[in-house]
Amino acid sequence: MPTPFMDPDFLLDTACARRLYHDVAAGLPVIDYHSHLQQGEIAARKRFRNLAELWLAGDHYKWRLMRSAGVSEDFITGDQPDEAKFRAFCRVLPLAAGNPIHHWCHLELRQLFDITLTINEANAGAIWEAANARLATMDTWSFLEQARVEIACTTDDPADDLTQHTEIAASGLKTRVLPAFRPDKAMRINREGFADYLDELGRAAGLRIGSYADLLGALKARVAFFHERGARISDHAIDGALPVGSPSAGDSEALFAKRLSGRLLTDAEQALYQRGLMEALGRKYADAGWTMCLHIGAQRNNNRRRLATLGPDTGYDSIADFTSSAGLADLLDALDADDQLPKTMLFCLNPAMNEVLSTLIGAFQDGSVAGKLQFGPAWWFNDHKDGNLAQLQTLANHGVLGSFVGMVTDSRSFASYPRHDYFRRLLCRQLGHWVEAGEYPDDIDALARIVRGVCYDNAKRYFGF
């Protein structure tokens, strides 16, 4: 007989895996050190009008799925009623066998709403009514506390005044909500509106930015401001290959002046500017004791027509195939040469680079911190069953799995915390397979130490929360 769909032992296919998950992993708190939750929605204790708003508003994962299944845009980002959009999603989700969204949505129904119905067109009405009745009693705090989220890090621009973070910190919310420093707007020098952003950043830092040195001063001041409010993580999108070799201070000033004059930088000039800024910020992060997270390998906004009509982050990105190892290694080496390499995490979007990055981190471990350099969790297009298992196996092959700091939601949705549960099941599954095959001892104490570390203990220690 087939295994029942999404039963309590979902993904746990050995006795060892089931024991590790149910006795160790399942009850651990969550540390979500990278998300895109909106701090304003937490501060305001936002309520969601219905399941469509919770599930479909802003979720480009689901939008891509619906488009691929032939759903027209008016039922995705258009003006169709919420219930009609939800029913359209329910109609096509059964077609997505093997897609993690199929698993995630069923986990969310079970864990957040105690609804065990299978998501399909026939059950859409009953799910809509039952979930909406439950949502009427819930707000953003409910999702965080129900999922036992101990710490949640948002993603924040350096110019943000973090007022809402201050409000949250003074509130009665059990979850600690901390900012994370994301200076993409300062990195993307060719972006339209760059000069206007410099004015915004300068006002936040209390200075006028007229030179590259001023920019560095403003960003460093904002690192200190964020640090005082609990930030311990920076986050950077590395969407192209970094060059080998650092620009001089004069080179960086000249590139900055060129852009302020109204001219765009060439691709090579833009990469050199970003390399210099990354190195300068990396030294500041090391001084502050922060972790530098690098998200590597995204190719963004491929569809110009949809970018013009819908904007960025609407489901038109993909995996890039650029080669980044030489420039990335040179950046890490330049920081390490002066013993100013911060704790660093490399998130890999292109699975063809898994071995490249998982071996690169081993070249810069120095014994000062367990897993000082981390091979980050399966990210974005890799966040599925096979991608998570591949990430765990690759890290195990080349490093120390027991030093890994575990999973993140990387999500804008307050309903996404079952993704941590999904990851924990896969971690226990992989360990169970190794025990079953005689590749690791059936030592429950040693195995439990790995599970507790990867799911909770290591992140708390590593980030200094």
Each residue's pLDDT tens digit, 249-308 = 999 999 999 999 999 999 999 999 999 999 999 999 999 999 999 999 999 999 999 999
Q: How confident is the model at residue 147 (pLDDT cuts 50, 70, 90)?
A: very high
H-helix or E-strand spanning residue 370: none
Gyration radius from the chain CA atoms: 23
Query: Over the stretch 55-94, which tens digit does the pLDDT of each residue have?
Result: 999 999 999 999 999 999 999 999 999 999 999 999 999 9
CATH of 49-138, one of 1.10.10.10, 1.10.2020.10, 2.60.40.10, 3.40.50.970: 1.10.2020.10
Indicate the DSSP class of residue 181: B
Say what the pLDDT of residue 195 is: 96
Q: Quick one: pLDDT band at residue 1, thresholds 50, 70, 90? A: confident
Please give the pLDDT value at position 64. Answer: 98
- Tell me: pLDDT of 347 over 90: yes
DSSP 296: E
Enumerate the domain spans of the chain. 49-138, 184-224+237-349
Confidence label for 98 from pLDDT (cuts 50, 70 and 90): very high
Taking the C-alpha atoms of residue 295 and residue 325, their distance in angstroms, rounded to an integer, is: 13
Contact 380, 348 (CB under 8 A): no
pLDDT of 323 over the 80 cut: no
First to last CA, the chain: 47
In Å, what is the CA distance from 73 to each residue of 65, 69, 70, 303, 317? 12, 11, 9, 15, 17
What pLDDT score was predicted for residue 252? Answer: 98
What is the CATH class of 184-224+237-349?
Answer: alpha beta
Percent of the chain clearing pLDDT 90 (strictly above):
98
- pLDDT score for 278: 97
Q: Which amino acid is at 197?
A: Y
**Going by C-beta distance under 8 Å and a sequence separation of 6 or more, which residues neighbour residue 361?**
344, 346, 373, 374, 375, 399
How many residues does this entry show for the chain? 465
- Read off the pLDDT of residues 371-384 as tens digits, 9 standing for 90 and up: 999 999 999 999 99
- Structure confidence by residue, pLDDT tens digits, 411-454: 999 999 999 999 999 999 999 999 999 999 999 999 999 999 99
Q: For the chain, how many helices (H) and strands (E)?
A: 21, 9
pLDDT at site 333 = 98
**Position 324 confidence tier, pLDDT thresholds 50, 70, 90:** confident
**CB hemisphere CA count around 207 (13 angstroms):** 15
The sheet with strand 373-375 has its strands ordered as: 233-238, 291-296, 343-348, 373-375
